[in-house]
């Protein structure tokens, strides 16, 4: 069976413009060289690789790679397929327009994130303080999550920096029914224990709470808000690429 000839470039272009998660699989070695298929996280595919079994297997593998935003070349018998994941731009939602949120916004934007600032206090969340933020929402956490233009999905990262149980607890509660890639929450271990006890009492699952990074950030010895922001963004990147964030020098060579 000959693979279908189709306009993959125009569909890929549309996906990139619409921030749609997809994977592009290309035969780079073997029969039907250059055949292409687009795979989506749901059951949808477009195009084919010229062989029904191969097409189905690659679609399954591509959906798995999408979870970690990894591109990979894999061998399937005599065929080699390059599977390239096109992930939407990552999004960062910061709860709390506090000092650390200022450098965190800058760092995140330099790394390609869209940034939303959420705070119930307009004195904290405003254009003067966050001139470059992609979105500023003055509201309670649950209202803000309902209002945001950002989709809360596997490319969404959340940093809760408010340091105020009035805000932190509802934010975690609202997020507990969603599937962001990362949730970090500022505060000491004691604060965290208190907040988690309260959330469990409100019916939030232990599985969800185990996913929350708190205290937030990598252990970089951060003292200033800028250093805190660096530790937070570094942790987000480590989660994004599935690494532990240690010293490369201590990593076994692969």
Partner 1 sequence: MRDLIATIDAWRARGDAVAIATVVKTGGSTPRPLGAKMIVNSRGEFAGSVSGGCVEGAVIEEALRVLKAGAPKLVAYGIADETAWDVGLSCGGTIEVFVEQVKS
Q: Which residues bind partner 1 (CB under 8 A)?
A: 5, 7, 9-10, 12-13, 16, 26, 28-29, 33-34, 71-73, 82, 84, 86
Strand order in the sheet with 114-119: 135-138, 114-119, 91-95, 156-160, 182-185
End-to-end CA distance of the chain: 39
Provide, rounded to whole angstroms, the least separation between the CB of residue 73 and partner 1.
Answer: 5
- Residue number, 18 or 43, with CB nearest to partner 1: 18
Provide, rounded to whole angstroms, the least separation between the CB of residue 34 and partner 1.
Answer: 4
- Residue number, 29 or 179, with CB nearest to partner 1: 29
- Residue number, 34 or 131, with CB nearest to partner 1: 34
- Residue number, 16 or 193, with CB nearest to partner 1: 16
Q: What does the DSSP 8-state code read for residue 248?
A: G
Beta bridge partners of 73: 82
Provide, rounded to whole angstroms, the least separation between the CB of residue 72 and partner 1.
Answer: 7
Do 213 and 236 contact (CB within 8 A), yes or no? no
Provide, rounded to whole angstroms, the least separation between the CB of residue 218 and partner 1.
Answer: 22
- CA distances, 135 to each of 100, 113, 132, 152 (Å): 17, 12, 9, 14
């Amino acid at each position: 069976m000959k693979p279908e000839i189709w306009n993959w470039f125009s569909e890929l272009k549309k996906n990139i413009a619409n921030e749609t998660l997809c994977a592009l699989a290309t035969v780079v070695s073997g029969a039907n060289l250059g055949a292409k298929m687009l795979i989506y996280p749901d059951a949808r595919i477009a195009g084919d690789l010229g062989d029904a079994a191969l097409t189905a297997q690659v679609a399954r593998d591509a959906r798995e790679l999408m979870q970690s935003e990894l591109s990979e070349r894999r061998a399937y018998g005599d065929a080699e397929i390059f599977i390239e994941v096109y992930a939407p731009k990552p999004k960062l939602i910061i709860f709390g327009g506090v000092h650390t949120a200022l450098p965190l916004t800058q760092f995140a934007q330099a790394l390609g994130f869209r940034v939303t600032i959420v705070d119930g206090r307009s004195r904290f969340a405003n254009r003067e303080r966050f001139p470059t933020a992609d979105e500023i929402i003055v509201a309670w956490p649950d209202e803000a999550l309902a209002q945001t233009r950002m989709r809360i999905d596997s490319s969404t990262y959340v940093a809760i920096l408010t340091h105020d149980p009035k805000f932190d607890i509802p934010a975690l509660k609202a997020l507990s029914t969603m599937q962001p890639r990362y949730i970090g929450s500022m505060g000491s271990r004691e604060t965290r224990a208190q907040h988690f006890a309260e959330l469990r009492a409100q019916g939030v699952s232990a599985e969800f709470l185990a996913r929350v990074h708190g205290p937030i950030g990598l252990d970089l010895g951060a003292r200033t808000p800028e250093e805190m922001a660096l530790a937070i963004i570094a942790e987000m990147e480590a989660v994004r690429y599935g690494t532990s964030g240690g010293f490369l020098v201590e990593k076994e060579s692969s």
